[in-house]
């Protein structure tokens, strides 16, 4: 038994197949990137069929403050409610005026015996680096509540001192995030870090057994290719690094039709493939779904993963049917 023991490492923060729809969930620099109040609610059920598999839900809300860019030129071209990101969008696109952005994110995550509830308030500042290029810098601060539940841990012999003596124990720790986001009409790139302040977590009331949160680093990039007046494709990649786990990589491609409907595919290296489908319903509502096909060895026990994202575009004065920016 001694010679067969191996270490297992994984990220502590949830993972998302549809990160392309809401990069704000990992990067506070996107606070207020659009000209409306962006609301996203999502739920993810990972590895359905495995007891204690991760379950994640989140709600995010963010909005601009002091953005004087009213996108008058594109709307005057008859694109309201039609195809706001058609080919002519490239020539009409201008950098956002300098403005602020604020936001709120709520995340509930359950994985095995550990439950985590996280709340963050975010702030970002956007400025134009060039006539068609924007830079945003953001920060997020809040707290995470960790609730290990000993009742969900099954041991051969009772009274294991490495876990809580009874039921749930709870601790609240500060949370700090930061990020940078570069965006234009045809591309975007950004880096961010979550859990910037490592914290100890107690797994027993006596404090004899402890864990530790570690920083999570994300790097994301993508670009838009116009295939005609009605079709676009957006390839993107996300790199994730959590020491001492090996880096993880997601590759995605999103194909859109007149920004009304879209199909997508994603590959998470050594883990899964995803198929995605979404609809922009008017200028208020959008909804999407992802189905993950597990390719790692865990597929012998878990069938698949499911993820649903529901979006609202509130105070959408110019009735755009999809995000102007990424």
Establish if 5 belongs to a structural domain: no
Q: Tell which residue, 281, 288, 279, 286, has the closest CA to residue 311.
A: 286
**Interval 10-36 mean pLDDT:** 89
Contacts of 261 (CB under 8 A, 6+ apart): 277, 278, 279, 280
pLDDT tens track for 209-221: 677 889 999 999 9
Q: What pLDDT is stored for residue 85 in this prediction?
A: 63
**Interval 161-175 mean pLDDT:** 75
Q: Could you report how far apart the first and last alpha carbons of the chain are, in Å?
A: 50
Instruction: Pick 12 or 29 by higher pLDDT.
Output: 29
- Average pLDDT of the chain, as a whole number: 84
The confidence band for 205, taking pLDDT boundaries of 50, 70 and 90, is low
Q: Are strands 171-184 and 55-65 parallel, antiparallel or unpaired?
A: unpaired
pLDDT tens track for 46-80: 888 888 889 999 999 999 998 766 444 333 333 44
Q: What pLDDT is stored for residue 73 in this prediction?
A: 35
Q: Which H helix or E strand runs over 53?
A: none
Establish if 11 belongs to a structural domain: no
Report how many domains make up the chain.
1
Establish if 178 belongs to a structural domain: yes
Give the residue numbers spanning the domain of 244. Answer: 19-314
Establish if 71 belongs to a structural domain: yes
Establish if 323 belongs to a structural domain: no
The confidence band for 97, taking pLDDT boundaries of 50, 70 and 90, is confident
Instruction: Pick 212 or 203 by higher pLDDT.
Output: 212
Establish if 205 belongs to a structural domain: yes
Cα separation of 167 and 187, whole Å? 49
Which range is least confidently modeled, 22-31, 69-78, 91-100?
Answer: 69-78
Q: What pLDDT is stored for residue 165 in this prediction?
A: 59
pLDDT tens track for 105-137: 999 999 888 889 999 999 999 999 999 899 999
pLDDT tens track for 273-315: 999 999 999 889 999 999 998 887 776 666 789 999 999 999 9
Establish if 165 belongs to a structural domain: yes
Count CB atoms within 10 A of the CB of residue 200.
11
Cα separation of 76 and 71, whole Å? 9
Q: What pLDDT is stored for residue 204 in this prediction?
A: 65
Establish if 98 belongs to a structural domain: yes
Q: What pLDDT is stored for residue 71 in this prediction?
A: 47
Domain of residue 297, CATH code: 2.40.160.40
pLDDT tens track for 175-186: 999 999 999 988
The secondary structure of the chain in percent helix, strand, coil, rounded to multiples of 5, reads: 10, 50, 40
């Amino acid at each position: 038994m001694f010679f067969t023991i191996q270490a297992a490492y994984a990220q502590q923060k949830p993972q998302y197949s549809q990160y392309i729809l809401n990069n704000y969930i990992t990067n506070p620099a996107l606070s207020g990137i659009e000209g409306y109040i962006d609301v996203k609610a999502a739920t993810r059920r990972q590895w359905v069929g495995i007891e204690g598999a991760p379950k994640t839900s989140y709600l995010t809300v963010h909005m601009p403050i002091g953005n004087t860019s009213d996108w008058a030129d594109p709307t005057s071209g008859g694109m309201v409610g039609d195809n706001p990101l058609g080919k002519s969008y490239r020539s009409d696109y201008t950098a956002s005026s300098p403005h602020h952005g604020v936001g709120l994110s709520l995340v509930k995550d359950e994985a095995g015996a550990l439950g985590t509830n996280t709340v963050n308030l975010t702030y970002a500042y956007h400025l134009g680096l060039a006539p068609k290029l924007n830079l945003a810098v953001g920060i997020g601060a809040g707290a995470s509540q960790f609730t290990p539940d000993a009742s969900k841990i099954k041991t051969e012999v009772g009274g294991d001192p490495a876990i809580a003596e009874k039921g749930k124990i709870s601790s609240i720790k500060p949370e700090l995030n930061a990020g940078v986001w570069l965006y234009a009409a045809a591309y975007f790139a950004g880096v961010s870090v979550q859990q910037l302040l490592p914290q100890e977590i107690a797994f027993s009331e006596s404090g004899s057994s402890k864990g530790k949160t570690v920083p999570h680093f994300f790097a994301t990039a993508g670009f838009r290719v116009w295939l005609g007046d009605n079709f676009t494709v957006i390839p993107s990649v996300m790199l994730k690094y959590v020491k001492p786990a090996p880096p993880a990589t997601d590759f995605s491609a999103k194909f859109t039709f007149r920004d009304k409907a879209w199909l997508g595919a994603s590959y998470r290296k050594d883990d899964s493939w995803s198929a995605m489908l979404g609809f922009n319903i008017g200028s208020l509502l959008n909804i999407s779904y992802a189905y993950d096909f597990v390719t790692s060895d865990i597929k012998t026990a878990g069938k698949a993963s499911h993820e649903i994202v529901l979006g609202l575009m509130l105070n959408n004065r110019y009735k755009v049917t999809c995000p102007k920016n990424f």
